[in-house]
């Protein structure tokens, strides 16, 4: 039996691009740096969160991680 792979929300701390993948996305193609610098914000899920600082919106299971905000010291998530 194959266990379904969990989709995770990846975020590049250099260019703020978002990718939803089961594994780390390609590091090439970053607009702000030589390579994307991906961090995992959380597991893909039904809840929608908005960062009050940088304005990105993500769909996750739980409150996304706070690190990597480009407009402040940390993301400030509000459930929407
Ligand atoms: Zn990038
Ligand atoms: Zn933010």
Does residue 2 form part of some domain?
no
% of the chain at pLDDT higher than 70: 98
pLDDT digits (tens, 9 = 90+) for 44-60: 999 999 999 999 999 99
Total domain count for the chain? 1
Q: What gap in Å lies between CA 45 and CA 32, rounded to an integer?
A: 28
Continuous segment of H or E residues that includes residue 24: none
Interval between CA 38 and ligand 1 midpoint (Å): 7
Distances (CA, A) of 75 to 29, 34, 41: 24, 24, 10
Residue 1 has what pLDDT?
67
Name the residue range of residue 55's domain. Answer: 8-79
pLDDT computed for residue 4 by the predictor:
75
Q: Is residue 73 part of a domain?
A: yes
Within a domain: residue 3?
Answer: no
pTM attached to this predicted model: 0.90
For residue 1, is it within any domain? Answer: no
CA of 1 to the centre of ligand 2 (A): 39
């Amino acid at each position: 039996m194959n266990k379904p792979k969990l989709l995770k929300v990846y975020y590049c701390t250099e260019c703020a691009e978002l990718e939803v993948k089961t594994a780390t996305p390609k590091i090439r193609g970053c607009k702000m740096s030589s390579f994307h610098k991906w961090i995992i914000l959380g597991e893909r899920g039904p809840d929608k969160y908005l960062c009050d600082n940088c304005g990105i919106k993500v769909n996750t299971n739980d409150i996304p991680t706070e690190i990597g905000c480009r407009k402040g010291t940390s993301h400030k998530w509000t459930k929407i």
